[in-house]
Structure 1
Amino acid sequence: MARANDEVEALLREYADLIAITGGDAFKARAYEKAARAVGGYPADVSTLDEDGLREIPNVGRSIADKVAEYLRTGKMAVVEERRARIPAGVRELITIPTLGPKKALRLYEDLHISSVNELAAAIESDALADLKGFGEKTQDNIRHGIELLQQAGARVPLPLALDTAEEIIAALSGVAGCRRCAYAGSLRRMRETVGDLDVLVAAARSGPFMEALCELPGTAEVIARGTKKTSVRTGKGLQVDLRVLPPKSWGAGLQYFTGSKAHNIRTRTIAVHRGLKLSEYGVFDSESGESVASRTEEEVYARLGLPWIEPTLREDRGEIEAALRGELPEVVTERDVRGDLHTHTDLTDGLASLEAMVEAAAGRGYAYYAVTDHAPDLYMQRMTDEKILAQRARLRELDGRHRRMRLLHGTELNIGPEGEVDWPDEFLAGFDLCVASLHSHFDLGRAAMTRRLVRACENPYVSVLGHPTTRLIGRRPGVDADWDEVFAVCARTGTALEVNAQPDRLDLCDEDILRARAHGVRFAVNTDAHSVPHLAQLRYGIGTAQRGWLTPDEVINTWPLTRLRRFLRKGGR
């Protein structure tokens, strides 16, 4: 279920942006950014807290707590409404462009009267920004790319929003009398990184009660179309939901058809034709007699086509049909296979929960082992020191094995510098159980320099995992430019695992990069990069991405027993 935390987080982030746009105090804007992040990652639902409870959230003082309480009580935050009124809507539209900050957006509006994304794109193409200070060729290229990212994202929404919405709808419709089955399909079932329209299926003899129930749900803001076979609505957060009610006997065929992808379905229909059959959302039929020969389950439908059941995350026509025909479909990794998380943070650096709270939550997930990897000192804003990290190690050793016998690994997330250097000398790194190394800055290096930088980091004998390798943020920042085949080959040679970062705005590596890296024989780690207790549950998004990349448990190091994992982390026996 969606939590009020997400709404409050978004509102506080907006307020921080509005402060920056109007030339407010940078420290105040930063305070609201920190509070937003803290609220989003807080374990308890903020709607259940009084003002004293709100002030217990890290980075939420009395003033911010009062504003949150106001929003929870009235649905509005007066200071946000006031700031919105002072800023033209066009400027607020401009700051949705990745790479374009609030100050530049305001400058474009005031100096050139640009108040929309389309106007800005046209201004760049006509060279109208050439004489505007601070908008040189490189800045314009960045803005142009940001506009492309925004346009590519379009009306698509992130996985968590789509999944939360789907699960709420399914819970509601499953309680309607006559419901035999209810599930989501489409790109969400295939775990695409963003979702356009949400497809929900119900198996029932009568469709009317379900169409009515969808239209009356609290989250439904608009009824787009209502019929007996299909009803479409739009939620308050802008997501279109298409509900289809199928005869129970057609459930399997309908689920297969509406899961897609389009390319996968073309292949299955072609196979059906070659077998003298016709495949539709209602079943598999004999072309001559019209008799239904399969429809109740997906397994039946695929079997009638001479195929094993194919995992939804593989249904993209990227070789899954051929692999199925050869009997070579992979048994892809699942959440149940994961024995531990190898990239997480605590409040020692930029996490929101204590070491003890994170360890307890990890144990509650049934993990056999768990790694804490707080940031190293080269990210200066984290203020890490040798003394702090060693004190954390001592405390972690005290906790080791206390929670359901879960073993604890002490690690760190190193910062990869411009030349590929990392924090701390080798003799200090030797004391860690594992080191994740990640890019956090200098994203605009040229291709050759970026490749050398990554290669050098992977060749470091103490770097076990390359964290969020491309650094992309979905819809906001592209991945860095590097010769990834060279990087993947070096990872395979040096025994450096590539991370599949489960944060839903990262999902880095993406599925296509995973497929490329697999060909080099690389190992992977599916990690949450959790900065709070709720983030640990985001593993599901990383697993979905890993499945889309065809990863098996044997290719994912954090599915291995601890003894095997430790051998890998020693990286060549060091």
Structure 2
Amino acid sequence: MGRPNEEVEALLKEYADLIAITHGDAFKARVYEKAARAIGGHPRDVSQLDAAELRDIPGVGKSIAEKVVEYFRTGRITAVEETRAKIPAGVRELITIPTLGPKKAMTLYEDLHISSVSELADAIQAEKLRDLKGFGEKTEQNILHGIALLQQAGGRILLSMAMEQAEEVVAQLSQVTGCQSCTYAGSLRRMKETIGDIDILVAARRSAPFMDALSELPATAETIAHGEKKTSIRTTKGLQIDLRVLPPDSWGAGLQYFTGSKAHNIRTRTIAVRQGLKLSEYGLFETESGKSIASRSEEDVYARLGLPWIPPTLREDRGEVQAGVRGELPELVTEQDIRGDLHTHTDLTDGLAPLEEMVEAAAERGYAYYAITDHAPNLYMQRMTDEKILAQGERVRELDGKHHRMRLLHGTELNIGPEGELDWPDDFLAGFDLCVASVHSHFNLSRKAMTRRLVRACENPHVNVIGHPTTRLIGKRPGIDADLDEVFAACARTGTALEVNAQPDRLDLCDEDILRAKEYGAKFVIDTDAHSVLHLAFLRYGVGTAQRGWLTKDDVINTWPLGRLRRFLSGGRAA
């Protein structure tokens, strides 16, 4: 679904997995993984580049460039298809399970003749895996959790992928003659982390032109249903889009109704019934007379129910209606409130762009401040050294203030070791403007050990932020097993901010965890964890997640003026 770059990224990542499964060269597999990441984050559309231009992308050599050109010329990569043919279909099914790597999948196939997800689940229940080398009870539990994640995800896709498709369709339908309004609704408008299908609404007096236009879009692979009030299509990427055309006078009621959630709508309809009214997608009506009393705007509908307009990101029946009745709805943080990004990477470690390009891109976003936080040395594959990070710090100071008066902060993303230890000693850490500390390994510690590990990191006076606190990857890796309530309490006590990581496959903390952490009085930071210039735009997804967690500007430290932020970072936790 997404940009051609993302299609190639997914294909090259698959090829790296296939190389691993077939016991190929491990170095070659890593080369393809790195190239996939570089292409995915490249700012230009790679389908428009020739082989020479592709080789200018870091990590893309002659062979990989030729494969990319082949893909856009023929729709396939011969080497990938030939390697796929060597892999039994059953193994390819097994590697779709989060937490199950390609080598273990091949072992299961070769040793136990397991070739499907259901067969694997049965084998685990029968305790057949425990005699295999590298498998045990903990591995079984992880695989079962991965199967549950796979089943739960079903046909759902990441918020970012759905948003890209929806905005493209909205832009195209908005050009159709007669369109008065057009937008997306449903769970996408509520900014849920994954989306099942996309709801598009149009306000117009005639529906037929829009129904026909949707069916004729270049991205449409199949028309599932074509009607006067609703048309459903499946895109070339397999995503379902449902279009409804509403009378302009019903726009507000329809937008409220189709945004949902179901539980929120039940709550609002109950209020309507108690007032002798009926609420539907066409408007708010008097039950006895059928007279329409509100429908043109959402604000009108909510006001007539005795409520303020409720932001879509809150519409989950988690107390928003009751808060509205009491006049206690929060003024949610917005993307415009964010003054700077405090967790980003450059090509000094695993980023794709040099420091200067990342800084320039941040300045173009109008930030007041911006932090560079490359990985510390205990993430060994990044090959960080004291000398490299100190030299980067000097360069940051040279650039500071030269980009539209945007101030630069030099930081690092530390690794939280199994015992809560960090990469550098305290005297070295004191030289950074801020330190983000994150878990990157040892995901399977006991609950007690994992909790102690995170709390100890919070208690280090040089740690300002706990990065992607649960380490989850949506649909791929479950969050770590820790007593998050104890961690949240420690963050509040020590003045350590919790990150809302805006990477679409993380969104970590998630909305429900944010709600819990806020109850303890913890502060938050919304970061992109950007590894390329393009990633800086992911901020919108972090803000949406923060809104779903009811966060305000005061809760989020990177909405604060630089002076207040610096006091927080230096230990003035009341700030």
TM-score past 0.5 threshold: yes
Which residue is equivalent to 1:453? 453
Whether 1:133 aligns to 2:139 is no
Tell me which amino acid in the other structure corresponds to 1:548: R
Deviation at 1:87, TM superposition (A): 1.7
The equivalent residue for 2:244 is 244
- Counterparts of 1:271-290 in structure 2, within 5 Å, are 271-290=271-290
1:213 corresponds to which residue?
A: 213
User: Does residue 458 of structure 2 align to residue 472 of structure 1?
Assistant: no
Q: Does 1:296 align with 2:335?
A: no
- CA distance in 1 between counterparts of 2:414 and 2:304 reads 52
Q: Name the counterpart of 1:541.
A: 541
Distance 1:130 1:486 in 2: 33
Cα distance in structure 2, aligned partners of 1:540 and 1:69 = 32
In the alignment, is the contact (CA less than 8 A) between 1:494 and 1:571 conserved in 2? no
In 2, Cα distance between the equivalents of 1:236 and 1:345? 34
Does 2:305 align with 1:305? Answer: yes
Report the alpha carbon displacement of residue 424 of structure 1 after superposing the two structures with TM: 0.9
SS of residue paired to 2:413: strand
Matched residue, 1:373: 373
1:132 is displaced (CA, Å) by: 3.4
Distance (whole Å) between structure 1 residues aligned to residue 75 and residue 59 of structure 2: 22
Q: Residues 133-164 of structure 1: CA distance to partner in whole angstroms, max 9, x if unpaired?
A: 33322221111111011111111110111001
2:63 aligns to what?
63
Aligned residue for 1:414? 414
Which residues in structure 2 correspond to 1:133-282 (within 5 Å)? 133-282=133-282
Check conservation: 1:158, 1:505, Cα contact below 8 A: yes
Equivalent residue of 2:526, what SS? strand
Query: In the alignment, what sits opposite 1:356?
Result: 356
Q: What secondary structure does 1:206 align onto?
A: coil
Conservation of the 8 A alpha-carbon contact between 1:157 and 1:194? yes
Contact 1:352 1:531 in 2 (8 A): yes
Q: SS state of the match for residue 373, structure 1? A: strand
Using the size of structure 2 for normalisation, the TM-score is 0.98
Question: Residue by residue, what CA displacement relative to the aligned partner does 1:487-522 show, whole Å, maximum 9, x if unpaired?
Answer: 111111111000000001110000000000111111
Could you tell me which runs of 5 or more consecutive residues in structure 2 were left unpaired when the two chains were aligned.
Answer: none
In the alignment, the residues of structure 2 paired with residue 221 and residue 112 of structure 1 have an alpha-carbon distance, to the nearest angstrom, of 39
Does the 8 Å contact 1:496/1:571 carry over to 2?
A: no
Residue 6 of structure 1 is matched in structure 2 by: 6
* CA distance in structure 1 between the aligned counterparts of 2:222 and 2:86, rounded to whole angstroms: 29
CA contact (8 A) 1:198 1:242 kept: yes
Letter in 1 for 2:466: L
Which amino acid counterpart does residue 79 of structure 1 have in structure 2?
A
Paired residue type of 1:304: R
Q: Could you say what secondary structure the match of 2:499 adopts?
A: strand
Amino acid at match of 2:241: V
Match of 2:429 in 1: 429
Question: Which AA in structure 2 matches 1:175?
Answer: Q
- Displacement, 1:572? 3.7
Distance (Å, rounded) in 2 between the aligned partners of 1:135 and 1:423: 31
Residue 372 of structure 1 aligns to a residue whose secondary structure is strand
Structure 1 residue 2, shift from structure 2 partner: 3.7
Q: Which moved more, 1:130-139 or 1:87-96?
A: 130-139
2:345 corresponds in structure 1 to 345
Matched, 1:400 2:377: no
1:127 and 1:425 map into 2 onto residues whose CA distance is: 45
For 2:425 and 2:116, the matched residues in 1 are separated by 50
Measure the CA separation in 1 of the matches of 2:325 and 2:531: 43
CA shift for structure 1 position 48:
2.0
Q: Distance in 2 between matches of 1:226 and 1:94?
A: 37
Structure 2: how far apart are the matches of 1:478 and 1:14? 21
How far apart, in 2, do the equivalents of 1:134 and 1:419 lie? 24
Equivalent in the alignment of 1:33: 33
Cα drift, residue 126 of structure 1 = 2.7
Distance 1:270 1:211 in 2: 33
Give the conservation status (yes or no) of the 8 Å contact 1:369–1:408.
Answer: yes
* Cα distance in 2 between the residues matched to 1:509 and 1:180: 38
In the alignment, structure 1 residue 77 sits paired with structure 2 residue 77: yes
**Partners of 1:334 and 1:254 in 2: how far apart?**
25
Matches within 5 A, 1:460-499: 460-499=460-499
Can you list the C-alpha shifts for 1:72-103, whole angstroms capped at 9, x where unaligned? 22211111111122222221111010111112
**Which amino acid is the alignment partner of residue 356 of structure 2?**
E
Distance 1:323 1:471 in 2: 32
| Corresponding residue SS for 1:10 | helix
Deviation at 1:476, TM superposition (A): 1.1
Distance in structure 2 (CA, Å) of the matches to 1:111 and 1:176: 59
Please name the residue that 1:556 is paired with.
556
Given that residues 90 and 116 in structure 1 are in contact (C-alpha distance below 8 angstroms), is that contact kept between their aligned partners in structure 2? Answer: yes
CA contact (8 A) 1:450 1:481 kept: yes
Deviation at 1:128, TM superposition (A): 3.4
Greater shift, 411-420 or 137-146, is seen at: 137-146
Partners of 1:218 and 1:369 in 2: CA distance:
41
Q: For each residue in 1:49-93, what CA deviation from the matched residue of structure 2 results, as whole angstroms up to 9, or x when unmatched?
A: 121110111110111011111112221111111112222222111
Correspondence for 1:532: 532
8 Å Cα contact 1:374/1:412 also seen in 2: yes
Aligned to 1:331: 331
Code of the aligned partner of 1:417: G
Q: In 2, are the aligned partners of 1:437 and 1:467 still within 8 Å (CA)?
A: yes
Deviations 1:222-268 (A, max 9, x none): 21111111111111222111111111111100000000000000000
Q: TM-score, normalised by structure 1?
A: 0.98
Any stretches of 5+ residues in structure 1 without a counterpart? none
| Contact 1:370/1:409 (8 A) holds in 2 | yes
One-letter code aligned to 2:506:
R
Q: How does 1:92-107 map to 2 (within 5 A)?
A: 92-107=92-107
CA displacement 1:158-181 (0-9 Å, x = unmatched): 011100110111111111111111
- Cα distance in 1 for partners of 2:90, 2:172 equals 38
Cα RMSD of the aligned pairs, angstroms, is 1.3
Which SS does the other structure have where 1:106 is aligned?
Answer: helix
Instruction: Give the stretch that moved more between structures: 383-392 or 68-77.
Output: 68-77
**Contact in 2 for aligned 1:349/1:383 (Cα 8 Å):** yes
- Give secondary structure in 1 for the equivalent of 2:458: helix
**What amino acid sits opposite 1:397 in the alignment?**
R
Size of the alignment, in residue pairs? 574
Identity over aligned pairs, percent: 78
Instruction: Quote the offset at 1:130 in angstroms.
Output: 4.0
How many Å separate the matches in 2 of 1:392 and 1:135?
Answer: 43
Question: Structure 1 stretch 125-134 or stretch 64-73: which is displaced more?
Answer: 125-134
Shift of 1:540: 0.6
Q: 1:382 & 1:108 partners in 2: Cα distance?
A: 32
Shift in alpha-carbon separation, 1:130–1:438, aligned structure 2, 3 A: closer
CA distance in 2, matches of 1:110, 1:129: 12
Aligned-partner residue type, residue 174 of structure 2: S
1:468 and 1:274 mapped to 2: Cα distance?
44
Matched residue SS, 2:182: strand
Q: Which amino acid aligns with 2:149?
A: L
What is the rounded CA distance, in whole Å, between the counterparts of 2:27 and 2:98 in structure 1? 22
